Amino acid sequence: MTEATLFTRIIDREIPADIVYEDEFCIVINDISPQAPVHMLVIPRKPIARLADAEDNDKPLLGHLMWVAGEVARQAGVADAFRLVVNNGQAAGQTIFHLHLHVLADPQADSRGSETFSESNL
């Protein structure tokens, strides 16, 4: 990747964001256009355009991103029911070509008996 993405600019503090977690490998922000009551983005500091572009040496980073997704879900109180989404490529809905995981949850889903996160909705 030659040009800085929106996420790189957020990581570099050039653009403000609602940061909910960060460490030396990644940053987590609340999505500015949420698709669920809880919608966070787990973004690696290393700019990888798409999941399919990750290399063998990125395996530890990819595992860390999954752990962080679980950690921020716990912190948000939605660890019992959340969805992870990774869009890979424009045809799959990816609009920012800097790998990121969407953490989506509805804390009220259990009390409503909602099918919001049913696998039939995939």
SS3 96: coil
**So what's the pLDDT on residue 121?**
45
Task: Determine contact, residues 41/29, Cβ cutoff 8 Å.
Answer: yes
Ramachandran assignment for 113, one of left (phi > 0), alpha (psi -120 to 50 degrees), beta (any other): left
Give the model confidence (pLDDT) of 39-98 as tens digits: 999 999 999 999 999 999 999 999 999 999 999 999 999 999 999 999 999 999 999 999
Instruction: Tokens for 122, please give them.
Output: 């995939």
100 counts as catalytic = yes
Please tell me the total number of residues recorded for the chain in this structure.
122
Q: Where are the domains of the chain?
A: 6-110
CATH of 6-110, one of 3.40.50.2300, 3.10.310.70, 3.30.428.10, 3.40.50.450: 3.30.428.10
Q: Which of 39, 64, 98, 100 is catalytic?
A: 100
The model carries a pTM of 0.88
Decide if pLDDT at 116 tops 60.
no
90-116 in b/e form (b: 16+ CB < 10 A) is eeeebeebbbbbbbbbbeebeeeeeee
